[in-house]
Amino acid sequence: MSTTDTSSTPRVVVLTGVLGGIGSAIAELMHDEGYLVVGLDRCPPPDGVIPKSIDSFIQCDISKLVGDTEEAVVLGQSIVDATQKISGSNKLTALINNAAYQVVAPIEDTSMTMWSEVMATNVGAPFALAKLFLPQLTAAKGSIINIASIHANLTKPEFVAYASSKGALVSLTKALAVELGPKNVRVNAVLPAATSTPMLMAGFDGKAEAFKALEGMHPLQRICEPKEIAEFVEFLAGDKCHFITGSCLQIDGGIGSRLHDPV
């Protein structure tokens, strides 16, 4: 028996951070597999053109969902309304929490404002969206997929806020899986290591030796491609993993099995 009821309604996913490297790859694959994609991003689409892989685009800052404020209520309702409009029903196949805010700074230079924004975007917003869409996810016997990070388990200096938020997201994944299991809502997380996104690659522009060293840290001698993450997300959203919930898989090229040199 499938955990996702797709008999009478289209398969719809809500994807945050849809315009980023990983988000774009997920949107493209989900679209190709027949899903309707409701994409959220704090940035406008490049050149004002919404990619064809996104069926409905909402430009918003999901960190604003955190807090018992009128702004949070209005924003949350607008996201739910847009999703119901495109689905034509009260069902949601999957909520994919991909958006993230990263601060790279030593603790002395990490302000409480920075800390709060990282936590609100990376942990608070996924929690808020899970609450908002719980009725729709329950009705569809759907799933929540959180894009965490290898930094939840293996990190390095100056990533204290980001690593802490991703560790919290992993714990949120497990706690929600336990609580929502009786509602037939599955919750899983994906923990990528270094991934070939435009943002990461731009940081290595003109630094061939540093990039080669990064690749060499991974036993597979390369970094991850965004599509490799998207493929696993699509699997978790589908009907071939009925008994998988509370799982947190490192997609890391083996770096998590090394004794040293974390990403």
Catalytically annotated residues: 162
CB proximity list for 153: less than 8 A, separation 6 or greater: 167, 191, 250, 256
What secondary structure, in 3-state letters, does 195-209 show? ECCHHHHHHCCCCHH
Under 8 Å between Cβ of 223 and 193: yes
* Residue where the block lists tokens 């924004």: 117
CA 188 – CA 174 distance, rounded (Å):
8
CA 30 – CA 236 distance, rounded (Å):
11
Closest CA to 195 of 244, 255, 235: 255
